[in-house]
Amino acid sequence: MNNFDFHNPTHILFGKGRIADLDARVPADAKVLILYGGGSAERTGVLAQVRAALTGRKLIEFGGIEPNPRFATALKAVELIRDNGITFLLAVGGGSVIDATKFIAAAVRHDGDPWEILTSQGAVVADAMPFGTVLTLPATGSEMNPGSVITNAEKGAKLAFLSPHCYPAFSILDPEVTYSLPPRQISNGVADAFVHVIEQYLTYPVAAPVQDGFAETLLRTLIDLGPKALATPQDYDTRAALMWTATQALNGLIGAGVPQDWSSHMIGHEITALNDTDHARTLAVVLPALMNDQREAKRAKLLQYARNVWDIREGSEEERIDAAIAATRGFFESLGIKTRLGDYAVGTPEIDIIVSALSDHGLTALGEHRSIAPSDARRILEAAL
Amino acid sequence: MNNFDFHNPTHILFGKGRIADLDARVPADAKVLILYGGGSAERTGVLAQVRAALTGRKLIEFGGIEPNPRFATALKAVELIRDNGITFLLAVGGGSVIDATKFIAAAVRHDGDPWEILTSQGAVVADAMPFGTVLTLPATGSEMNPGSVITNAEKGAKLAFLSPHCYPAFSILDPEVTYSLPPRQISNGVADAFVHVIEQYLTYPVAAPVQDGFAETLLRTLIDLGPKALATPQDYDTRAALMWTATQALNGLIGAGVPQDWSSHMIGHEITALNDTDHARTLAVVLPALMNDQREAKRAKLLQYARNVWDIREGSEEERIDAAIAATRGFFESLGIKTRLGDYAVGTPEIDIIVSALSDHGLTALGEHRSIAPSDARRILEAAL
């Protein structure tokens, strides 16, 4: 096991009816900005629950945060906060709303140009406003981690930052608020969480049986519950386990002390940047091709994955790896997610653009061995056509 | 899954050489009290590493904390802290030293009689001094939880308390410092961690696949690594995984949202109170008898335990449960831990005393169903003779 630090101070309030606990969590004298995305938080009644729980506090609302949250939108919130003496932020939504809130919380307390927060990957963040979250979509894990991804449309850039100041003070996870999610968001969330686990697991062994076993638990749970969550949207047990799985998939625990990959994410981001394909769908396209391409570097872990996640015990090593990759692809397809670039209008000319973009963004040494160059990404993408 | 809160703010610093990080963790102007137990922390060089890392700070030391830490001893430390204007506590040791430090940290800031901290189970704790730990023994999980058990010899009482103010600010887990531990402490630590997991897992199903899968990972890891840790004491990978397993076994994660038992602990405490048998050994005696006795109430989870932890897939339900109980007993015995009361000089007359003590201490409704009365404990103990 590699040396590591683990420190996750977010307070999780999990279960039915927990939005009412906002009253105890948000300071009584706080002036609160409630941040949300499109109309669903209003339509589903979540915002009404939030307002009811915060009765007596001064509330201002800021809606319209985009699915890939925009830098310019965040800056409008920063101005609103400064103009109104807001003292506490509450994100009500999924990963995009929470990511935007983290950036806003840091930007309000940052003296220089807020763009530096992103270009420094969070290094310049010395402080952030306190904020909590009410999660409505199990997927990104942003509710219990210090990371955020922001898109700057003018600059054509999608940049991430991390700061220990940007853990939510608390996150409320009520599985019932996910009942009304569209199937596409559920399937995307399951695939996103699945690949989050894979990025921290499918590398090479470092004698970390706790992290490996936890990761395998999360993968098996997603495989079991993903289709059930689509088939029976109002099944509390399924939605509850799914919600907790997605949180555990990216809260630092399974990634502590082990190598990490993240090349599927880096390549996938460029596909989204090109044609706005859903993030999770880009992962479902890249991952199977990448697993096959990197089978030598990942051999030991691919065999462990085949056995412990898919219960594949028969056949030669190559056959077991092939079967595990086919099972992975089949899992995404069973969620209604296509796994070929052609399904998303990406052909050979678009691959040229994606590969160039990786170079342009300095992403020239990806993966747990920093060995995947843009030329390797081209080979992987061509295999995904 | 049941509703739950999860909030664990302890910062873990894990790996080789991490004691040097104390310099960055302990405030530069702190006046530090270093707390430790017997002579081993000095003998093994851990205290020397700690002193070197804290060079420049005012250090006072307080040794002699007992294996079952005493109330009277803790009060001496409280006096020393007040007399010397100590501002930070550092526990260097295993669960006993850390438990004592938690109590001391709370007692220093408590206005009334410190005994109230224990009789209120921590409810009166409104604040505590900041403290960190350097863990030397993987076993109790105290390094990443807010609980503590203190013995009052005069009153013949061993009482636990919990307080959210009593999480360590940080804990340093360097697996290399465990190389020199006596085999008895390693085997006790493995058994203790194993039963910590069992108390939170072997109850009844509540559709919590993440918690179940994490618990099963920890159990399988202990089964695999316990004997290896005894056979090859200086194997870093083994000691590292064991250390992280014991921490995860009792940091709130696997117990979040699920029923908990703790009857083996409650009954075992009375055996220790009677004749000072090692805590872990009392658990290894009580647990197999309790599993057999409670097979109806625990049937579904016993079958899941048999399959997922011991890979027992053949035979009738009764046969699989029998095999899982036999495997559990065999595991403890393989660590050199005897599993019959007779091995610890406990016979029928002593069972009378233990059963009376349970009644006297109000422990009349134990287990996840609060259904184990002292008369049931008698039956379990008689089966363990």
Confidence of residue B36 (pLDDT cuts 50, 70, 90): very high
Report the CATH number that the domain containing residue B27 is assigned in CATH.
3.40.50.1970
Instruction: Give the number of other Cβ atoms within 10 Å of residue A163's Cβ.
Output: 23
A2, part of any domain: no
Work out how many domains chain A is built from and give that number. Answer: 2
Contact state of B217 with A217 under an 8 Å Cβ cutoff: yes
Say if CB A2 and CB B11 are below 8 A apart: no
Contact of A243 with chain B, judged by CB distance below 8 Å, is answered with no
pLDDT score for B369: 97
Partners of residue B304 in chain A, C-beta under 8 Å: none
The pLDDT tens digits for B148-205 are 999 988 887 788 999 999 999 999 999 999 999 999 999 999 999 999 999 999 999 9
Subunit contact A209:B10, Cβ cutoff 8 A:
no
Radius of gyration of chain B (CA): 21
ipTM, interface predicted TM-score of the complex: 0.97
Q: Last residue of a domain, which of A177, A194, A219?
A: A177
Q: Which of A1, A5, A18 lies closest to B237 in CB terms?
A: A1
Q: Tokens 């899992």, residue? A: A331
Query: Cα separation of B91 and A286, whole Å?
Result: 48
Q: Give the contacts of A42 (CB within 8 A, at least 6 positions apart).
A: A36, A48, A63
Report the percentage of chain B scoring pLDDT > 70: 100
> Is residue A103 domain-shared with residue A193, that is, in the same domain?
no
Residues in chain A with CB shorter than 8 Å from the CB of B244 are: 1, 210, 257
Q: How far apart are CA A356 and CA A176, in angstroms?
A: 44
CB contact under 8 A, B14 and A256: yes
Residues B340, B266 share a domain: yes
Is B244 in contact with A1 (Cβ distance < 8 A)? yes
- Measure in Å the smallest separation between the Cα of A165 and chain B Cα atoms: 13
**Mean pLDDT per segment of 10 residues, for chain A of length 385 residues?**
98 98 97 96 96 97 95 98 98 97 98 95 97 97 97 85 98 97 97 98 98 98 98 98 98 98 95 91 98 98 98 98 98 98 97 95 95 98 98
Q: Are B272 and B334 part of one and the same domain?
A: yes
Boundary residue ending a domain (B151, B177, B203):
B177
Nearest chain A residue to B164, by CA: A11
DSSP string, B71-120: HHHHHHHHHHHHHHT--EEEEEESHHHHHHHHHHHHHHT-SS-THHHHHT
Q: What is the pLDDT of residue A363?
A: 93
Residues A23 and A64 in one domain: yes
Q: Hey, is the C-beta of B234 within 8 angstroms of any chain A C-beta?
A: no
B232 and chain A in contact, CB less than 8 A: no
A165 and A207 belong to one structural domain: no
Look-up: residue for tokens 């302990």? B26
Are B25 and B47 part of one and the same domain? yes
Residue B68 and residue B40 share a domain: yes
Residue A164, chain B, CB below 8 Å: the answer is: no
Task: Enumerate the β-bridge partners of residue A151.
Answer: A70, A158
Asked whether B382 and B351 are in contact (CB, 8 A), the reply is yes
Other Cβ atoms less than 10 A from the Cβ of B120: the count is 14
Q: How far apart are alpha carbons B50 and B129 in whole angstroms?
A: 20
pLDDT at residue A159, rounded to an integer: 87
Interface check for A172 against chain B (CB to CB < 8 A): the answer is no
CA–CA distance, B192 with B280 (Å, rounded to integer): 5
* A331, A284 Cβ separation under 8 angstroms: no
pLDDT at A125: 98
Domain boundary among the residues B177, B192, B219 is at B177
Residue B287 binned pLDDT confidence (cut-offs 50, 70, 90): very high
Is residue B367 included in any domain, yes or no? yes
Calculate how close chain A gets to B252, using CA atoms only, in Å. Answer: 12
A188 and A164 co-located in one domain: no
Contact B16/A at CB under 8 A: yes
Task: Count each helix (H run) and each strand (E run) in chain B, helices first.
Answer: 15, 9
Contacts of A14 in chain B (CB under 8 A): 1, 3-6, 256-257
> What value does the mean pLDDT take over residues B297-323?
98
**Statement to judge: residues A193 and A172 lie in one domain:** no
CATH of the domain at A199: 1.20.1090.10
Chain A contact for B243 (CB, 8 A cutoff): no
Contact yes or no for A212/A301 (Cβ under 8 A):
no
Range of the domain at B61: 11-177
Q: Which residue of B4, B213, B253 is in closest CB contact with A220?
A: B213
Contact call for B15 and A6, based on CB within 8 A: no
Closest residue, chain A, to B248 (C-alpha): A210
Please answer yes or no on whether A241 and B16 come within 8 Å at the CB atom: no
Contacts of A311 in chain B (CB under 8 A): none
State the average pLDDT over residues B264-282: 93
Residue A384's Cβ-count burial label (10 Å; 0-12, 13-18, 19+) is: buried
Contact in structure between B247 and B144 (CB atoms under 8 Å):
yes
Q: CA B112 to CA A381: how far, in whole Å?
A: 69
Distance, CA of B140 to CA of A223 (rounded, Å) = 34
Residue A267 backbone class (left: φ over 0; alpha: ψ -120 to 50; beta: rest)? alpha
Does residue B4 fall inside a structural domain? no
Instruction: Please give the torsion angle defined by the CA atoms of residues B352, B357, B362 and B366, in that order, rounded to the nearest 10 degrees.
Output: -60
Region B356-384 average pLDDT? 96
Sequence-separated (6 or more) residues with CB below 8 Å from residue A79:
none
Closest partner residue to B3 (CB to CB) among A18, A208, A253 is A18
Helix (H, G, I), strand (E, B) or coil at B274: helix
Sign of CA dihedral A351, A353, A358, A364: positive
Nearest CA in chain A to B172: A5
Please tell me which of the candidates A1, A16, A217 has its beta carbon nearest to residue B214: A217
In the prediction, which pLDDT does A158 show?
83
Q: Is B24 on the interface with A (CB under 8 A)?
A: no
Could you tell me if residue A149 is inside a domain? yes
Flag whether pLDDT at B281 surpasses 80: yes
pLDDT value of position B156: 75
| Percent with pLDDT over 90 in chain B | 95
The rounded Cα B180 to chain-centroid distance in angstroms is: 20
The helix or strand, by DSSP H or E, that contains position A13, with its residue range, turns out to be strand A11-14
